[in-house]
Amino acid sequence: MNRLQQITKVRQELLLDKPDLANQVRAIRENAVANMPDLIQTATETLQQKLAKVYLAKDPAEVADILKDLLKGEKRVSRAYSNTLDEVEFDAIMADMGIEVSLTKLEEIVRQHMALPNCRHPHLLVMDQPRQVIEEGLRRFIGHPEEMAPTELGQLVTEQIKQNILRSEYGVTGADCIVAENGVLALAEDEGNLRAVSNLPYKHVAIVGIEEIVTTAEEAVTVIQAASIFGAGRISPTYVSLIAGPSRTADIEFRMAYGMHGPKEVHVILLDNGRKALRHKDAGALLKCINCGSCYEWCRELAAQQQWTGATMTPKGFALGIIQGRLRPPKLKASMGEFCCPVGLSAESVPDSLSKI
């Protein structure tokens, strides 16, 4: 059974215990899209109250301007993987500035070093690759061409990544959700590299789409758990980190100081890049999508049909691709089966909404 088949099987088992989950998540995401302007306003205020710096970026060019200002003079940044960082072509912006980018997610490292094709799955970056390919990619990463025992390889790779992070003044991530009520970033993962990137360096930059803003922390963990069950076949991610601004302590004479163990500065770039425009069209429903990957196979077929390349294969990925002018609007074709969705999108509603953009 391949990975995607495994995910489908486990998803069904897990959902038996949680018959209400999809309804809850759909309601949360519907509210998030419906109230987006208010949520952006509230989140900006609460993030700032928690002492994060907040920037609003209309498009990747504005993101580049913000980063040029912020990261001037830096030699290296470390980053985790995020669809949003892909969307703004973060690595290209860094290359322009002459800043080295250290990858920290193992799949991405292997994909880069072995020049593997980008299967455009929202979080499975390497699929169905033989073990030798993976091992070789990792050996190239640490610059060790000869074969070695896998656990030894593992330890050296892990150590190298950690050193890269420790040498970076800035750690860059996306976020799964922003919690408007409390000014909190919510980040989910399995490896632990997101925690390292957002805790070890002195400064943390998060680039987040404005559709990710929900109201409460409870909503955020509900969405994150649903993404894990629907899209990864797991009851929850291994690590979920909620971050409210910079690290702080008042342990010395009750005087507040920042950057005790975690970052001293947190910068949040809220990205529009067509989301507000999508909302105004009848295609706003597509912004409910949480990029879980549950419908990946259906999306892959749709992309093949439409001859779409270069977009993350999710309803939201396609919607953003079209509004940003990277994908042609869809030509209606025959429908291709069903898929399981935590936010109430369907094989019927998605092509319909996409055609309205």
Partner 1 sequence: MAEDKLKQKISDGLNDESARIGRNRALNVIKPSMQKAVAKYPKLRDRLRAIKQYSIGHLDELLEKTTKVMKARGTKVFIANTQQEALEYIGKIVGQGLVVKSKSNAGKEIGVLPYLEAQGAKVVETDLGDRITQLDGTPASHTMAPSIHVPIERVAELFSKEVHETLHPELEELIQTARKSLRQFLLHADVGISGANAIVADTGAVVVTENEGNIRAVSSMPKIHIAIAGVEKIVPTLQDAITVIKSAAVFGVGQDIGTYISILSGPSRFENDDFAFMGEAQGPREMHVVFLKAGRDRALQLGYEESLYCINCGSCLNFCPIYAAIGEKFGYKYLGGRGAVFTAMHKHLEEAQEAGLSLCIGCQRCVEACAVGMHTPEMIARLRTSVADEKGLPLAKKVVFHGLSAGKLPGWIKLAKTFQGLGRTGVGDGMAKLRLPIENIPADRLVPVLAKESFSEAVKRRQTPTKNLQKRVAFFAGCVVNYVRPDLGLSLMDLLEGQGVEVVTFGEESCCGIPALQSGDEADARAMARHNVETMAQENFEHLLFVCPTCATTVLQEWPRLLQDEPELARKAAGIAEKSIDISSYLVNVLGISAPETAVPLTATYHDSCHLARGLNVTEEPRNLLKSIPGVQLVEMKEADVCCGFGGTFSMSYYNLSRRINEDKIKHIEATHADCVVAACPGCVLHLKDGVYHAGGKQKVKHIVEILAEAYKKSGDK
The binding site for partner 1 (CB under 8 A) comprises 3, 50, 104, 106-107, 123-126, 128-129, 131, 134, 138, 150-151, 153-155, 157-158, 161-162, 165, 181-182, 184, 190-193, 195-196, 199, 217-218, 221-222, 225, 232, 234-255, 257-263
Among residues 221 and 299, whose Cβ is nearest to partner 1? 221
- Sequence-ordered alpha helix ranges (H) in the chain: 3-16, 21-34, 36-49, 60-70, 83-87, 90-97, 106-113, 131-142, 150-166, 193-199, 217-232, 275-280, 296-306, 315-323, 349-355
Among residues 46 and 306, whose Cβ is nearest to partner 1? 46
What minimum distance in Å lies between the beta carbon of 213 and partner 1?
A: 16
What minimum distance in Å lies between the beta carbon of 300 and partner 1?
A: 17
What minimum distance in Å lies between the beta carbon of 34 and partner 1?
A: 22
What minimum distance in Å lies between the beta carbon of 30 and partner 1?
A: 18
Q: List the one residue out of 178, 176, 184 whose CA is nearest residue 246.
A: 184
Instruction: Tell me what percent of the chain is helix, strand and coil, each rounded to the nearest 5.
Output: 45, 15, 40
Among residues 85 and 165, whose Cβ is nearest to partner 1? 165
**Residue 23's CB: how many other CB atoms inside 10 A?**
11
Among residues 13 and 96, whose Cβ is nearest to partner 1? 13
Query: If you ran DSSP here, which 8-state letter would residue 331 be given?
Result: P
What minimum distance in Å lies between the beta carbon of 151 and partner 1?
A: 5
What minimum distance in Å lies between the beta carbon of 24 and partner 1?
A: 10
8 A C-beta contact, residue 182 and residue 225: no
Phi, psi of 306 (to 5 degrees): -85, -5
Name the token pair of 233.
């076949």
**Residue 262's CB: how many other CB atoms inside 10 A?**
18
What minimum distance in Å lies between the beta carbon of 43 and partner 1?
A: 14
Q: List the one residue out of 256, 258, 262 whose CA is nearest residue 242.
A: 262
Among residues 44 and 247, whose Cβ is nearest to partner 1? 247
Among residues 151 and 307, whose Cβ is nearest to partner 1? 151
Amino acid at 66: I
Among residues 60 and 231, whose Cβ is nearest to partner 1? 231
8 A C-beta contact, residue 187 and residue 175: yes
Name the token pair of 47.
């993030």
